[in-house]
A and B are shown apart, each in its own frame.
Chain A
Amino acid sequence: MATAQLPAPPVRWARAPFYFNSAAHLLRIEREKATTLGELLAALRAVPSESIFQHTFRTLQEHHFIREGFSNDYAHWAFAACNEVGLAERLASVDVREFTSVESLRERIVQIVQDYLNRNPRAADRVAMEPFYFCASDAVVVPTPFVARNLAEFRDCMNQVSIHSIHYHFIEARLRLKLNSNDFSVWLESELDMGRIADQFNRIDIYTSTLQDVRRTMVRVIERALHSQA
């Protein structure tokens, strides 16, 4: 029995393709170190913003394979070296994706530590089991050969790019864009008019997923969209 074949829906082509980049980072050792929470607070106010970036955004990338544990170095140190679990939990609750500048992120972290020390003044001078060494990150943008012009190509690229490329576009991007969004969502919305997918991307929880999980979730979302298009 012959069946009438429906014509395939037209592929939506982006006006501007998506060029996948990545970033390579080099760690610099800063002069500041803290042996107490009081010293941590003072250094948090003084260190360059690249240092705040390193201990929050970057540490998330360096430990992209872990779902559990504390999500930034300050929280980890407060827990593991200072045994200040309450402070650690509050620091760990800071979601870097809520910040579009490192300076506002710094203010938030300073505020948390300051509030905690106001309530627990004796904690300020208690010596930690090991010092906190402030580092900073020098980043260099690295282009990749991956370019997407439509949703199917975008999915193929997502399957192949490195985890670092996903971190660069999905997590670090908000510092460049100064938006509570990411490069992928911005492109999908502006170039392919796919605001729904863009929103779904923005709702992915990066703290309970590894970056590989993030990749898989994104690919799944795209595949569902491609399937429904077909």
Chain B
Amino acid sequence: MEPRKDRVEERAAEQTGSEVGTQTPVEAPPRNGGTEAPEAPFRERRKRPRISETPPAPPPPPRLDDYEPIIGKPELDELRFLARPLRGKTVKMVNSTSLGGGVAEMLNRLIPLLSELEVVTRWDVITGGNDFFEVTKAFHNALHGGEYVLTKEARDIFMMYNEQNRQRMQFSEDLFVIHDPQPVGLVRSRERNRGKWMWRCHIDLSNPHPDVWGFLRPMVEEYDATVFSSPAFSRQLMAPQYLFFPCIDPLSEKNKELDPAYIQKVCDDFGIDRSRPIVTQISRFDRLKDPVGVIQAYKLAKKYVDCQLVLAGGGATDDPEGAIVLQEVMEAAGEDPDVIILNLPPWSALEINALQRASTVVVQKSLKEGFGLTVTEALWKGKPTIAGAVGGIPTQVIHKLTGVLVHSVEGCAYQIRYLLTHPEFAEQMGKNGREHVKENFLMTTNVKRWLLLFQILLGMVRKEKTT
């Protein structure tokens, strides 16, 4: 049974990933976010955003050699060396969607690179009916700590579809990587073969609903290893747990180097004055990203320093709450001509890239966060970054070294003022931030982590005794 399109889209929303660019494609709204209110005078002098109204075809995935200017030849040689013993080994990766979401986005990049390294990797997607994906969505929310009553029916639906997929799929590979809870039951096939099984959990399990976790846990315990995005997201398990940070692809549309003329064009299109400082937050219009708090911080900072504020994100068109938050943001901005609010469609990766690169300072004042890949993106672009000290952000932002952490509107305002008036400090922090990403949060680093884990599980390596 094939999943219906609407289910696929919902599942995409369940996936972790960059906050912008994972929603259902929608038509580009007008600058005022589609509200009935007449445009304020300050907006009339701006051009409408020139964003295409249909998603462009994705570019072909990069090849390994394309990364050499970024990570250097020794790093690429290391990847090739680590892949050598795995040549001819086969890997199956399974998740619940091939469209949208951070996991699918990551697999779309990871699998071609592993295949280029001759580690033959097959990507399978589980199928299920609406009932299955309703259950898995409820599980997803419950695993994040939401209220839920786990019924026998939900358990049966979950197991039935896992069993159907298990019967449908072949499990002849050497290594199996199962992503997230939806296909976790496929591990029951391990009795039939000799492969090694890994469960890659992309979600935060720090505070799971006890009944749902109690139901899933026996299946998780059958894996040879588990992989989490943060130590804080993990659980106590019998099998070894590994830490793979989420990562960005430096060659993706959202992160690749851009022609300065293109950056200028995007700024011109959006009416952003590059001769003056630009403070930017890229995020969905979601209260947990605190866009109103960012406006308050900007207003406090602006008493002392001249700047413009760009709030760019999506989610206000297809998400009813997003539209309400956008309205709140518009009200908080008032008639200030230097607050530029952009509700962008999901295929705006290049424009977002340009906005980040044009920024003097990037803010991510989240109140709650997963890993915060928009922070990773800003750091990668060498931007001095101010971010809320929540979720995975402190892993990326080491206070005053790779960025600054804030806990309040006032703290955010002070840091905006400080960074705009201390450009040398801001520049050094930006350089450190980029190095931090290069070391820890790039796609190529994750390729290396997978190769190492595969080798360790297959007993191929002599571990260095460092102690």
Query: Which residues of A line the B interface, CB within 8 A?
Result: 22-29, 31, 33, 49-50, 52-53, 57, 62-66, 68-69, 76, 80, 101-103, 130-131, 133, 135, 137-145, 160-162, 164-165, 172, 175-176
Contact = CB atoms under 8 A, between A and B. Distances in A.
Contact of B452 (A76, A138, A160): A138
Given A26-B456, A65-B435, A102 B466 contact: yes
B221 interface: no
25 contacts: A22-B78, A24-B78, A26-B452, A26-B453, A29-B228, A29-B234, A29-B241, A29-B242, A50-B467, A63-B439, A65-B435, A66-B432, A101-B467, A102-B467, A131-B232, A135-B231, A138-B463, A139-B463, A139-B464, A140-B456, A140-B463, A142-B81, A144-B74, A162-B78, A164-B78
A29 B78 contact: no
Interface in B413-459: 431-432, 435-436, 439-440, 448-449, 452-453, 455-456
A50 B78 contact: no
B82 A28 contact: no
Nearest to A48: B467
A63 B437 CA distance: 11
Given A62-B440, A69-B401, A141 B432 contact: no
Contacts, number: 105
B169 interface: no
A79 to B, nearest CB: 10
A66 B243 contact: no
Contacts of B73: 160
B72 interface: yes
A53 B77 contact: no
B160 interface: no
Q: How large is the interface on B (under 10, 10 to 19, 20 to 34, 35 or more residues)?
A: 35 or more
A142 B240 CA distance: 23
The DSSP consensus for interface residues of chain A is mixed
Nearest to B72: A162
Nearest to A25: B452
A199 to B, nearest CB: 25
Given A22-B78, A69-B398, A175 B436 contact: no
Contacts of B449: 26
B27 interface: no
A57 B240 contact: no
Most buried by A among B78, B81, B82, B453: B78
A165 B78 CA distance: 11
A144 B241 contact: no
Contact of A140 (B82, B234, B436): B82
B231 A29 contact: yes
Contacts of B258: none
Nearest to B228: A29
A24 B432 contact: no
A156 B402 CA distance: 31
A52 to B, nearest CB: 8
B242 A26 contact: yes
Contacts of A52: 467
Contacts of B82: 24, 140, 142
B456 A138 contact: yes
A140 B455 contact: yes
A163 B236 CA distance: 34
A27 B435 CA distance: 19
Contacts of B463: 138-140
B466 A175 contact: yes
A31 B462 CA distance: 24
B277 interface: no
B29 interface: no
Contacts of B394: 130
B288 interface: no
A172 B78 contact: no
B228 A65 contact: no
B439 A62 contact: yes
A169 B120 CA distance: 33
Contact of A175 (B78, B240, B400, B467): B467
A26 B73 CA distance: 21
A31 B231 CA distance: 10
B177 to A, nearest CB: 15
Most buried by A among B232, B240, B399, B464: B464
B75 interface: yes
Interface in B39-76: 72-75
Contact of A165 (B74, B81, B432): B74
B461 interface: yes
Given A24-B448, A28-B240, A65 B466 contact: no
Given A66-B402, A80-B399, A165-B74, 20 more contacts: A23-B464, A24-B82, A24-B448, A26-B242, A50-B467, A53-B466, A66-B398, A69-B400, A130-B394, A131-B232, A133-B231, A135-B231, A139-B464, A143-B81, A144-B77, A144-B78, A145-B77, A160-B73, A162-B75, A175-B467
A24 B75 CA distance: 10
B467 A53 contact: yes
Contacts of A24: 78, 82, 448, 452
Contacts of A143: 81
